[in-house]
Amino acid sequence: MGFADVASFARNRFVPVSLGIATVLLSLLGAAAAHAFSLDDVTARAKTLADRAYQAPVSNLPPAFSKMQFADYLRIQPRRDQFEWHDRDTPFRLAFYHQGMHFSTPVGINEVVDGQVHEIKYNPAKFDFGGMSFDADTTRNLGYAGFRVLYPINRDGVHDEIMSMLGASYFRVIGKGQVYGLSARGLALDTAWKDGMAEEFPRFREFWIERPKPQDRFLVIYALMDSPRATGAYRFVLRPGEDAVLDVESRVFLRGQINKLGVAPLTSMFLYGPNQGVRGNNFRPALHDSNGLAIHAGSGEWLWRPLNNPPTLSVSSFQVTDPKGFGLLQRGHEFSRYEDLADRYDLRPSAWIEPKGNWGPGKVELVEIPTADETNDNIVAFWTPDVVPPKGQPMRHDYRIHWTMNEPALIEKDVGWVKQTLRTDGEIRQANLIRHLDGSTALIVDFEGPVLARLSPDAPVGAEVSVGDNAELMENVLQRNPAIQGWRLTLRVKVKDPKRPVEMRAALVEGRRALTETWSYQLPAR
């Protein structure tokens, strides 16, 4: 999508004053500085909203904008010469999204300068409408649908988009050399709670963005969230780099009963991969924004759950008290894994949630939704607390999101990880050396990492394997994989009831010492 910006800045006036008046003014200025805009201000607004009845936003779009198709919406390109802060001594720029299509209600966007708030007003002159024909008067009362952050992340002097906030409470961030893939959002409410029950999508209705000082290499953003059953205040601190880092502080108030609360939710897409097979005649070996859920439990255990595109809705829960981290990862960035020059799935980052403080008892939940194509985000992951505070009492969850393509750096050095999971029809080799398919299903799991590469050739490495009651374990073979200086585990199972899923777990050990993360796999029902 394109880029936009608005040039908006405050000017100071200086007038001669008497000593007495100057004293009063200095006192007032001191008071203003002491009450500079902060997360407390947004939190107070969120609490006030929570005490009132919810008011749904009302669309103000004329038909020329509301009825446009996505391709037409893409024609509305912001003008680069109008980027916010283009005339300021800062490497950051802001650009804005125009309203259109289902982005039908404006969001408030403000600039915070020296602690004081100034509205960034909508101006259609900031956009190139790509030859679109419309009555100029129809845009008079419109606004912005969201905004982008730009920064010279790849080349000096070239401002690339590194963050996008558009639609509900969704946002995406990328680091150097990365392209957009999965998204994060502020809150998930009743995601896959019950069949036929709609999920609630809270919406960021207003933003406050601090104008960065010349020496700042970070950007501070505040957001006010609203929905029928919850409100929230957020503070984001964006730090561009090789890997982008986003610090999040959230304060959430409940308006009504929540069946399932999703904290730090991530949303991604998984169509197929080597653990599920190519659909149809497609040259791409894999097509996904993420291929697994990783969890670092409070107990210290590491877990890896490969993603599926199941035939029916699937919900998996992992009980975790005080999680140390979790995320949807894109393991494997070799181009040969994807072979897609247009969408570059090999350059899409992982998102790793690093909680700050103790979150208490709860669980990490994974939702997998069947999809026929890659246009749908069908994967959701979040942490849900066992205990939700009463109405009026804020929930506080602070965390850091790492947007990275260096997934091994997330894992402790003494823990090996799953490189890949391959699923195939099970086979046995007959006396004549011809392979025979016996109706079983085989899973090939490759483990790698420095801890495995350092092992001596005669190290007593074993595999701890468990299979649910819906399958019989026919084969369990562990062998060295010299191609990756790791180990390959081959499991062959006979499914009892194809209409039920099969749960499987495996990890490599040396004696009583765990060598790897736990591979936790679900063979979906058919």
Mean pLDDT over 361-380 rounds to 96
Classify residue 520 by its DSSP letter.
Answer: E
Q: Name residue 177's amino acid.
A: G
Domains of the chain: 42-410 (2.70.98.10), 417-523 (2.60.40.10)
> Does residue 4 register a pLDDT over 80?
no
**Residue 88 to residue 127: CA distance in whole angstroms:** 20
- Grouping H, G, I as helix, E, B as strand and the rest as coil, residue 80 is helix
Here the tokens at position 206 are 């207003």
Q: pLDDT at position 34, please?
A: 53
pTM: 0.91
> Does residue 6 register a pLDDT over 70?
no
Ranking 143-152, 201-210, 315-324, 425-434 by mean pLDDT, the lowest is: 425-434
Here the tokens at position 169 are 């409470």
Q: pLDDT at position 18, please?
A: 39
Beta carbons within 10 angstroms of residue 152's beta carbon: 15
What is the separation, in whole angstroms, between the first and last Cα of the chain?
38
Instruction: Please report where in the chains the tokens 């020059």 appear, as a residue.
Output: 341
> Does residue 10 register a pLDDT over 80?
no
Ranking 29-33, 311-315, 354-358 by mean pLDDT, the lowest is: 29-33
**Residue 270 to residue 447: CA distance in whole angstroms:** 22
Mean pLDDT over 412-421 rounds to 96
85 conformational bin, left if phi > 0, alpha if psi -120 to 50, beta if neither: left
**Residue 395 to residue 237: CA distance in whole angstroms:** 19
Q: pLDDT at position 198, please?
A: 85
Ranking 8-17, 36-45, 252-261 by mean pLDDT, the lowest is: 8-17
Q: What share of the chain is helix, strand, coil (3-state, %, to 5)?
A: 10, 45, 45
> Does residue 9 register a pLDDT over 50?
no
Q: pLDDT at position 398, please?
A: 98
Which CA distances in Å does 500 have to 121, 378, 465, 497, 503?
A: 55, 20, 20, 6, 10
Tens digits of residue pLDDT in 99-125? 999 999 999 999 999 999 999 999 998
Mean pLDDT over 447-466 rounds to 95
H or E stretch at 24: helix 19-34
> Does residue 3 register a pLDDT over 90?
no
Tens digits of residue pLDDT in 17-67? 333 444 443 444 454 445 799 999 999 999 999 999 999 999 999 998 999
> Does residue 471 register a pLDDT over 90?
yes
Classify residue 285 by its DSSP letter.
Answer: S
CA atoms within 13 A on the CB side of 279: 15
Classify residue 100 by its DSSP letter.
Answer: B
Ranking 1-10, 43-52, 305-314 by mean pLDDT, the lowest is: 1-10
Mean pLDDT over 346-360 rounds to 97
Mean pLDDT over 414-439 rounds to 85
Percent of the chain's residues with pLDDT above 90? 79
Tens digits of residue pLDDT in 126-179? 999 988 888 888 888 899 999 999 999 999 999 999 999 999 999 999 999 999
The answer to whether the beta carbons of residues 415 and 449 sit under 8 Å apart is yes
Q: pLDDT at position 8, please?
A: 28
Which CA distances in Å does 224 have to 49, 168, 256, 417?
A: 10, 11, 18, 39
Q: What is the mean pLDDT of the chain?
A: 90
- Which one has a higher pLDDT value, 1 or 197? 197
Q: How remote is the C-alpha of 257 from its chain's centroid? A: 25
The answer to whether the beta carbons of residues 307 and 392 sit under 8 Å apart is no
Percent of the chain's residues with pLDDT above 70? 93
Q: pLDDT at position 457, please?
A: 84
The answer to whether the beta carbons of residues 283 and 393 sit under 8 Å apart is no
- Counted residue by residue, the chain has a size of 526
Q: pLDDT at position 389, please?
A: 84
